[in-house]
Each structure stands twice: as structure tokens, then as C-alpha cells.
Amino acid sequence: MSQIASETISTNQIADTESTKSKQSVPYNMRPQGRDFVWIALFLAPFLILYLGFTLYPLGATAWYSLHEWDGSGPLDAFIGMQNYFDIIQDRSFWLSFWNTITFAVVNTAIKLPLALFAAILLTQKWMWFQRIWRTVFFAPLVIPVALAGLVFDFILNSRGALNDVLMSLGILERPVDFLGNPDTALITIILISVWQIFGQYMIYWMAALQNVPENLYEAASIDGATEWDKLRYVTLPVIRPVATIILFLSFVNALKVFGLVAATTEGGPGQSTYVVSYFIYNQAFRDMPFRYGYASAAAVLFGVTVLVAVTMQGYFVRKAQH
């Protein structure tokens, strides 16, 4: 295994060296000069305008609204400073939704990524038949609207649904279970539905990472007598580690934004067992009377800080994986 590891390291060093040489060998006359910067600015302008209008401005407006007692209409005339934040910190419903969201994201990621990696490894093997068909089967749920998927599973998983009929006919259950209506099973059920729908996307990510592993490393490992497990452990995983770190954090951050499935199935219930932050914000701003748009904005800012921390950690761990 030492030979496999050393060859992996040397290959990475060669790639880094070639990348450095390519950067240093760019001729001076090929670098942007004079009017080139005008064209660069023109081509970047559409993106910058959209970024300012649909990213920076909403972020700034949300932070500003969070400092007001506002119902979403009329002038901002009730400036209350940090009061919304003090109230949020003492709001048990917010913290319950916060921990439900973290639990959802962690468990969703822990189930989804290993399964997607396993499927990607199988579908990149030369002996695997019908690869395109399997890729289509796994990717197809992603094109189904979240609301439609939620409604379908709500119909299947209720106490009179098809799943209960099958389980009871096989003798696995003695009485029907409302999977989305039981506080003990509602959250894990939504997690599994989410995994089913988004599974194909992360399988594609893993396949892209696996196809970038140099074939000569596998050949060297085979010469050394490495098993398939040895190849996975000492060749594949070390090489794809930086990309795997990105996929991990991308999966976690995306899972934090769960909303559609909850809105289409449980609406935060039963009780508050599936009450997530995005649905808490939606209720405060648009559903519960009186509307508390400023309060919802404060909740959004606090949760946004959590997402920002996760994204910042991603950069640190990616750099560490590369080294």
C-alpha cells in the first residue's frame, strides 16, 4: 500500500507543478490591457446587476427590516433596533425549528452521500450493464416538483395508503401507521423522501469526481495486488477528497433550506416535530396573524449566519484536504 500512496502523492505533485508552470508561462501580451478591461466590465455587467438586485439588495433589505416592527406593508416607521433579535433568542419555537433543521440536514447528508457514492462507484464500473438506464432511473425523481412529490407521498404514506396495505398484507404491521402523522416518524419520513428525490443529483457529482481519478493509479494498485477495497481506500478516496469535501458541505447547506416538502406534507406537524426554520419564517411573515415581517427577517438573518458559518468552514476544510 505504501507504493500506492506514494504514487498518489507524486501524481498530485506533478499536477500541481504543471498547473504552476502553465500559470507562469502566460505571455505578457496575452494578459488583459487597456480596452480589454472595458470589455471585461461589459461582459460582467449583466451578472453584477443581477447579483446586486437579487442577492445583495435582498440581504441588506432583510437586515434593515429586522430592525423594525413591520407587518410587510406600509412605511417602516417603527424602528425598534435589536428587539426582534432579543425576542427570537427567547422564542422556544424558533430554537425547536432550528434544531429540527440541523437534525434534518445532518441525517439527510449522512444517508444520502454514502448511498450516492456507492451508486456512483457501481455505475462507473466497466462491467456494469445498462448504465444510462440506471442513471436515468436515479436522476428522474429530481425533475419532479417538490410539491407534487410531497402530495404523492402523503397519499402513499397515510394510514390508508398503499404502503400500509402492503406491510399489513405481509404481516410486518399489525395496525396501520400514519408515517407523516406520527411525531416519532414524521421527520425521518420527510428525510427519506428528500433523499429519494435528490439522490440522483449527488450521484452525478460523485461520478464526475470518480471519473477524474487517473487510471494509471488503479493499474499500479492492481500490480501491487490491491483488492477493490484497497483501491477505494488508498486510491479513490484520497484523490477525490477535496471534491468530496465540497460535495459534503454543498449537501449540508442545501439540506438546511428544506421547505417545500414540509409545506406539502406536514406543515410543521404533527405538533412541531417537523417545524423547520424556513417554515417558521414563512408562518411569521405570511401566515400567522398579525404578520410579523420584521420578526421573520430577524429569524432569517440569524439562520443566515449559520449558513455563512457552514460555507466558511467549507473553504477551510477544502484547503486542508488539498494539502
Q: Check residue 129 and give its pLDDT.
A: 87
Q: Are 308 and 256 in contact (CB under 8 A)?
A: no
Weakly modelled stretches of the chain, pLDDT under 70: 1-30, 32-34
| Residue pLDDT, tens place only, 110-163 | 999 999 999 999 988 888 888 888 888 898 999 999 989 988 998 899 888 889
Q: Check residue 203 and give its pLDDT.
A: 94
Cα separation of 226 and 234, whole Å? 9
Q: How far, in whole angstroms, is CA 177 from its chain's centroid? A: 30
Q: Check residue 27 and give its pLDDT.
A: 54
Which cell numbers hold the place of 53?
Answer: 438586485
Burial class (CB in 10 A: 0-12, 13-18, 19+), 317: middle
| Residue pLDDT, tens place only, 257-276 | 999 999 999 999 898 999 99
Write the DSSP symbol of residue 235: I
Cα separation of 105 and 202, whole Å? 15
Q: Check residue 73 and give its pLDDT.
A: 82
Q: Check residue 30 and give its pLDDT.
A: 65
Q: What is the three-class DSSP state of 79?
A: strand
Domains of the chain: 2-31+66-322 (1.10.3720.10)
Q: Check residue 28 and give its pLDDT.
A: 53
